[in-house]
Amino acid sequence: MDDALLKFVWKFFKNLGATLSMRNEILTASNIPEKFEKFFGKKSPYKFTVDESLATDEVEFLEKGSYTLKAISSYLEGSGETTLLKIDFKCDPESEVKKRIDLKNSTIVKLSQKKRNNIFFRYTFHTSFQYLNEREKLINEVYIHDNKRINGDLNDYPVSEGSKSEIDIPDMKESYFVAKEDLKVQLDNKTREVANKLNTALELEIRRVEAHFETEERELKYLLEKAKERFEETVREGDQVKISRQAKVIDSIKEKLNPEERLNDKERSILIEKTKHGLNVNNKLFNTTLIYHPIYTYDFYVKNEHMKTNFEVAYDPLTKSLQKIPCSICHEDVREIYFCSNGHLACRKCMVACKSCGKEHCKKCLKIHCELCDALICDSCKVRCIGCGKLMCKSHTTQDKLSRRHYCNTCLTKCERCASLKIGSDFRRSRKTGVKVCEDCYRKEIQEKIVRNLD
C-alpha cells in the first residue's frame, strides 16, 4: 500500500480547502472548489484508494501515473495563487483578559476595546524530485510570521474565507524569501538522501560497466587465442580460402580489442549512467495563504484614592495569552499589577512604601533617602532642615512656631527649663540662674519678676 500517495492527495485537497474523510481505506474529498472540478473534468466528491481490491467505478485506485496524480501535477504547475483565510475564535475576549490580570491596588473605571489583526503567511510549495525513472512529489508548507519561520498547522482552528476589506495586505517579498530559504533547509535531508541513493546506485552501475568490459575483454582474448590456433590448423591444412577467412576472423577480434576504442566505449557507457543517475529538483510555489486573526486590545481606565490612569492590554486568542505588560521600572512582564501614586504601572518587587506616610510608590518615584535614618521617603514627606540643609523624615524635625521653619533635632538646643527643643541662637541668659534658656522661658522669668515687683 502506498501511503505516501494517499498523503499527497490528502494534502493537495486539504490545501484547496476541501472536506476530507477517510473510512475503510477510502479517502473521500468533497467541497472541491469549482476551479479544480472544471480542470479535472468531474464533479466532486472524489473517492480514492491505494488498495487495488477496493477500486470500483466510483473509487479510483491511486498508483503512480494515474489520471488523478497527473491532473494534480498539472494543476499545481498552473496555479500559484493567494488565498485569504481568517481564523474565527469563539471567545469572550473581555473576560479572558480580566481573568489574566490582577489589579492589586486599583479598580477599573472603564474598558474600551480596539481590534487589530495579526497576520501570518503560509507558503505551499510543490516539489518534484526527478531521477532514474522516478518522479517523487512532495508538498511542503512553510508558515511565516514577522518574517520568521513559525511552527504552524491550521487543522485545529476554525478557519473561514477572509475578506480583503478587513485587512491591509502587507508586502510579502521578504517573507517569501524567508520561506524559500526554509524550504531549502526542509528539502536538504530529502535531497541528500536521494543523492546518496543515486550515488550508491551509480557506483554499482560503474562497477557493472567495468566488470562487463573486463569480461568482454577476457572473452575476446580467449576467442583470439582460439582463432590463432584455428588459423595454424588451417595453415597446416593448406586451404587458401579457409586461411584467408580465418585471418579475417583474427583481424575482426583484434579490432574489437583495440584499447583506445574500448576505453572510449567504456567512458561513454559510464557517462550515460551518470546522466541517468542525475537528480532534478523542481520547486514551485503552489499557493500563498494570508491568514489573519484578531488581537483584542483593551484600554483599561483605572483609579485608586491617589491616582487615575490608563494602560493597554492585548489578548491573542491564538496563543490564548496576553501580550507583555511591562513593569515601568524593571520592564518585566506583570500580571499582578500595582500603580504608584503617580500612576506608574509596576510589579510587586518594584513597589516601595514611604516610611513616613506609608503611601505606595514605585522605585522611580521614591528615591529620596533620609540623611539621618536612610529610610526612603516620598516627595511630600521630605523635610529640609533650615539649619544644616539636610533632607530628612518629618519625625526627625520640629517646626518653629513663630517662623514656621523646620529644623532638625540636632540643629535645635534643648532648653533646660522647659525641656523643649528651640533655636539655640534665640536663647537668653537667665538673670536668676545665669544659664541660657529659651526665649519663652526668659520672657516668663521677666514677667514673673515684674509681677513680683508690682506686689
Q: Which is nearer to Zn ion, 198 or 372 (CB)?
A: 372
CB nearer Zn ion, residue 217 or residue 371: 371
Residue 356 within binding range of Zn ion, rule CB under 5 A? yes
Ramachandran class of 301: left when φ > 0, alpha when ψ lies in -120 to 50, beta otherwise? beta
Per CB under 5 A, 329 contacts Zn ion? yes
* Per CB under 5 A, 327 contacts Zn ion: yes
* 347 contributes a contact to Zn ion by CB under 5 A: yes
C-alpha cell at 218: 577476457
- With b for 16 or more beta-carbon neighbours within 10 A and e for fewer, the 128-156 pattern comes to bbebeeeeebbbbbbbbeeeebeebeeee
How far apart CA 389 and CA 403 sit, in angstroms, is: 16
CB of 110 to Zn ion, least distance (A): 22
Stretch that binds Zn ion, among 3-11, 152-160, 269-277, 402-410 (CB under 5 A): 402-410
CA atoms of 305 and 111, how far apart (whole Å): 19
Measured torsion, CA atoms of residues 14, 19, 22, 25, in degrees rounded to the nearest 10: -80
372-386 burial by CB neighbour count: b if 16+ within 10 A, else e?
beeebbbeebbbebe
Residue 386 · residue 407 · CB < 8 Å: yes
Q: Assess 350 for contact with Zn ion (CB under 5 A).
A: yes
The answer for residues whose C-beta is within 8 angstroms of residue 351's C-beta and 6 or more apart is 338, 340, 360, 361, 362, 363
Contact 317, 91 (CB under 8 A): yes
Compute the least distance from the CB of residue 438 to Zn ion, in Å. 3
Give per-residue burial for 356-371: e unless 16+ CB within 10 Å, then b.
beebbbbbebbebbbb
**Residue 408 is a binding residue for Zn ion (CB under 5 A):** yes
The stretch among 99-107, 135-143, 309-317, 338-346 that binds Zn ion (CB under 5 A) is 338-346
Task: Report the C-alpha gap between 103 and 352 in whole angstroms.
Answer: 17
Q: Which of 379, 377, 415 is nearest to 396 (CA)?
A: 377
Q: Contact, 364 vs 344, CB < 8 A?
A: yes
Distance between CA atoms of residues 145 and 153, nearest Å: 13
Q: Using CB under 5 A as the criterion, what x/- string covers residues 372-401 for binding Zn ion?
A: xx----x--x---x-xx---xx--------
User: Going residue by residue from 418 to 447, which x/- string records binding to Zn ion, judged by CB under 5 A?
Assistant: x-------------------x--x------
- From candidates 1, 185, 357, 435, binder to Zn ion by CB under 5 A: 357
Q: Considering beta carbons, is residue 126 or 363 the nearer one to Zn ion?
A: 363
Q: Is 406 in the site for Zn ion (CB under 5 A)?
A: no
Segment contacting Zn ion (CB under 5 A): 127-135, 191-199, 206-214, 329-337?
329-337
Binding Zn ion (rule: CB under 5 A), the pick from 18, 138, 370, 376 is 370
- CB 412 → Zn ion: shortest distance, Å? 8
**Interaction of residue 354 with Zn ion, rule CB under 5 A:** yes
From candidates 42, 145, 228, 417, binder to Zn ion by CB under 5 A: 417
Q: Which is nearer to Zn ion, 130 or 395 (CB)?
A: 395
Site residues (vs Zn ion, CB under 5 A)? 327, 329-330, 340, 342, 344, 347, 350, 354, 356-357, 362, 364-365, 370, 372-373, 378, 381, 385, 387-388, 392-393, 408, 411, 415, 417-418, 438, 441
